[in-house]
Structure 1
Amino acid sequence: MRLRFLGGAREVGRSAVLVDDSLLLDFGMLTGNPPQFPVETPDPDAVVVSHGHLDHVGTLPALLSGDERPPIHWTPPTRELALTLARDTLKLHGGTYNCPFTETDVKRVTQVSETHGYRETFEAAGYDVTFYNAGHIPGSAHVLVDDGETRLLYTGDFHTGGQRLVSETTARPDADVVLCESTYSDVTHEERATVEQRFVESVETTLWEGGTVVVPAFAIGRTQEMLLICEEYDIPCYVDGMGVEVTEMLRRHPAFVRDADALKRAAGHARVVDGRDGQRKRITEQKAAIITTSGMLSGGPAMTYIPAIRGNPVNKITMTGYQVEGTPGRNLLETGSAEIDGRVMPVSAQVEQYDFSAHADREGIRSFLDSYRDTPVLVNHGDRCEQFADELRDEGFETSAPGIGDTVSV
């Protein structure tokens, strides 16, 4: 089995691995200005997708722009998330170099889609493929690829700690080689219950003091996690942006969330913002939490809320996800100012950061790999893949960290 790394190697973003020039695992984009795409657009016989985040599915429709129509295999939530993201990319960047596909390509995705549940083995490009719950977001999967001689386990993104939205991964299928993500290989996450309690106490304090809390959150996964927390602690909240659509979609797939009834209650607890008639401006004057995209303040309704609440030091902005260097969210944390619509605005409101990560941390990755101590491990999807591979090698693992464009035989 030969693996060719077209993206996601020694980096976070644009994940794409080609197996024997036949089976493609993921085809994402690396967000930025401009965005980056896999170094090659191949013609695979089939595509298998681990989960519905932009860095794993963002470039998928471009595979269908030519004469070939490879089937795309994924779980039902991943299919819907990928289509939602593709349509959003078209809306933001369609017709420019920042969008490598057309509306026609997106429509073709629906024509070649084949969905599967967890632990249901299916055939793709001559391989036996099985999905296992990866505990990252709804529908996320470890991907086991078996050619009859070699079993490759592609971890995708995974979490070994439980979240309110999804249960942690417990699957450890037999494999001959593991291709493992390493996003947080040098980080130890604070206990989730502790993070959650600090967040709740902070929000409740601000509301008691008469302030408003803006909660920037990624539309997929993080928005729903914050809704579940607000419902659990009876925090008055609004929800705005793409997270509204994603929440409703996930409710249609109850088998892929931890507690479908809890998600239903959380969706009913939050008041949905439609953005009409100055609604957003009025909301910023209320004592409530506003859960809104984008998670890094790079667009979306947050561009309305932050300028409106920034001048009052009683108000608060609670960042709930990792902030990529150079994004307005990262700049706000580091400088106390944010660039909104081309203007740098000083922010007097309090700014806080909370680690609600959906990735396994250093201990989580190592606990996962404990089941594969006698199995070769390829490290990818991280900013320090080579260093982590060296650390694992010092502990007796057979490891390497392929680079972009490398071909590895396993």
Structure 2
Amino acid sequence: MKMKFRFLGGADTVGKMGLTMENGDETYLVEYGMAPTKPPEYPLMAPRIKHAFLTHSHLDHCGMIPAVCGRDRCELFSTPLTAEVGEIMMHDSLKIAKAENYPLPYTTGDIERTMKAVVPFTFGDTIELNGFDTKLHSAGHVPGATMFEFIGETSTVYTGDIHTVRTRLVDAARPVDCENLFIEGTYGGRYHPDRKQVEADFVEKVKEVVDRGGTALIPSFAVGRTQEIMILLKDLGFDMWVDGMGRSVTRLYSEYPEYLLNARDLKAARRKFSEVRTANMRKEARRADVIVTTGGMLDGGPALNYIRSLKDDPANAILLVGYQAEDTNGRMLMETGLLKLDDEPVKINCELQKFDFSAHADHKQIVDFVRACDPTNVVIMHSETREMFLEDLADYNVILPSLDEPFVLDV
């Protein structure tokens, strides 16, 4: 059986993922995200869809799903945790678009129709769909993140974002034997430091900041990173607070313990962190030892409010624990020592340090994963450095797809 594939986004760039699969008269959609730039960037318009698949709830993969599911009333296959966290992200995207006067990509009604269209299933489950089976495997990226295995005459695996190292939050992705492997290449040509050493260095830095009388401000992504940092710091005995959207995501994670490496660790971490729920609580949190808060790239969220009060005391520290994309406030801070507050560049005088807590596999980990899956065809996506893999994957038929250029595989 032949299947035609076409990338609507994310083929040769990181973000705004979207892939169609055409089998006769049926067209399927795998992910449909946005790039949360200013203004946001979107994938190409999707054709009419009956069935859509969502790997996880980061905006670059789920952000535009309501534009399709709201329009077409198509079924959406994902884990229930991904669907519920995705709903939070979708509503937040609308909130930001309204605040910034951007054109609205969809409506609250589209989000409601999307949630009604969710067909929840979980790791190990298989569903039969128009001549082929679809099976879910853990992607090891964030809780609930999924690799889809499409089983027809052969097996085709779509990884979404994956990590092949166990973290404090989730177990590692495991290879799946397949004929065709669609795999992310975000970190092509780049390598992560040892995870345990990063954790140890980070904890020691937090202790150092608190011991000198400062506050450690840790801007974190709401989905995955906030919870991992909370677990890592839970036994320090400091006055610690958590703020922003990560609080809601943490509560959802606690309702789905089956997607966590150790649900008891997250439960214990929640007990050790006070939640900011009011303006007065936020004032109290400014005097804390540790503050974990959104936004992870310093383009919004409570983090900016905290920085206003912490920035001029060298005893304090801003500890970045996530990727800082180009043209973000976080990247500007790293490169210049300046941060935009109220649209004005401001000098940041407290300590700044970045730690690599990536939830993506690096170059070697991707290569090792490909070899363990042992496919014939390797499609590398979600990467701006895909060519870096060609030498290490010379034994495979490597396909570097282009935007809106269809290609056909036997499936």
Task: Give the 3 Å change call, closer, same or farther, for CA 242–125 of structure 1 in structure 2.
Answer: farther
Q: Is the 8 A contact 1:8 1:380 kept in 2?
A: yes
Aligned partners of 2:49 and 2:129: how far apart in 1?
A: 10
Number of the residue aligned with 1:60: 65
Q: Is the 8 A contact 1:303 1:341 kept in 2?
A: no
Structure 1 segment 113-152 matched on structure 2, within 5 A: 113-124=118-129, 126-146=131-151, 148-152=152-156
Aligned partners of 1:235 and 1:162: how far apart in 2?
A: 26
- The secondary structure found in structure 2 opposite 1:238 is strand
Q: Is the 8 A contact 1:89 1:99 kept in 2?
A: no
Between 297-306 and 92-101, report the one with greater CA deviation. Answer: 92-101
The answer on 1:358 being equivalent to 2:359 is yes
- The secondary structure found in structure 2 opposite 1:211 is coil
Aligned partners of 1:263 and 1:290: how far apart in 2?
A: 17
Counting matched residue pairs gives 403
CA offsets 1:24-74 (integer angstroms, 9 cap, x no match): 1101111211111111222112001111111100000001343x2110000
How big is the shift at 1:186? 1.3
Aligned partners of 1:374 and 1:19: how far apart in 2?
A: 19
Number of the residue aligned with 2:408: 409
Task: Give the 3 Å change call, closer, same or farther, for CA 332–150 of structure 1 in structure 2.
Answer: same
- The secondary structure found in structure 2 opposite 1:296 is coil
How big is the shift at 1:117? 1.0
Give me the CA root mean square deviation. 1.5
Number of the residue aligned with 1:4: 6
Aligned partners of 1:248 and 1:283: how far apart in 2?
A: 20
Number of the residue aligned with 2:390: 390
Aligned partners of 1:94 and 1:123: how far apart in 2?
A: 40
Structure 1 segment 249-264 matched on structure 2, within 5 A: 249-264=252-267
Normalised to the residue count of structure 2, the TM-score between the two structures is 0.95
The answer on 1:200 being equivalent to 2:203 is yes
Number of the residue aligned with 2:218: 215
Task: Give the 3 Å change call, closer, same or farther, for CA 355–235 of structure 1 in structure 2.
Answer: farther
Q: Is the 8 A contact 1:136 1:358 kept in 2?
A: yes
CA offsets 1:339-361 (integer angstroms, 9 cap, x no match): 02212110000000000001111
Aligned partners of 1:52 and 1:87: how far apart in 2?
A: 12
Aligned partners of 1:212 and 1:381: how far apart in 2?
A: 36
Task: Give the 3 Å change call, closer, same or farther, for CA 273–392 of structure 1 in structure 2.
Answer: same
The answer on 1:31 being equivalent to 2:31 is no
Aligned partners of 1:26 and 1:343: how far apart in 2?
A: 36
Number of the residue aligned with 1:105: 110
Number of the residue aligned with 1:91: 95
How big is the shift at 1:134? 0.8
| Structure 2 residue corresponding to 1:225, chosen from 215, 223, 228 | 228
Aligned partners of 1:388 and 1:124: how far apart in 2?
A: 36
Q: Is the 8 A contact 1:389 1:400 kept in 2?
A: no
| Structure 2 residue corresponding to 1:43, chosen from 17, 40, 48 | 48
How big is the shift at 1:97? 4.2
Task: Give the 3 Å change call, closer, same or farther, for CA 64–222 of structure 1 in structure 2.
Answer: same
Aligned partners of 1:22 and 1:94: how far apart in 2?
A: 32
Aligned partners of 2:57 and 2:330: how far apart in 1?
A: 23
Amino acid in the other structure paired with 1:390: L
| Structure 1 residue corresponding to 2:27, chosen from 17, 22, 28 | 22
Number of the residue aligned with 1:303: 304
Q: Please, which runs of 5 or more residues in structure 1 have no aligned partner?
A: none
The answer on 1:165 being equivalent to 2:165 is no
- The secondary structure found in structure 2 opposite 1:232 is coil
Normalised to the residue count of structure 1, the TM-score between the two structures is 0.95
What percent identity do the matched residue pairs reach? 34
How big is the shift at 1:373? 3.9
Number of the residue aligned with 2:320: 319
| Structure 1 residue corresponding to 2:187, chosen from 162, 184, 188 | 184
Amino acid in the other structure paired with 1:408: F
How big is the shift at 1:303? 1.5
- The secondary structure found in structure 2 opposite 1:47 is strand
Aligned partners of 2:271 and 2:103: how far apart in 1?
A: 37
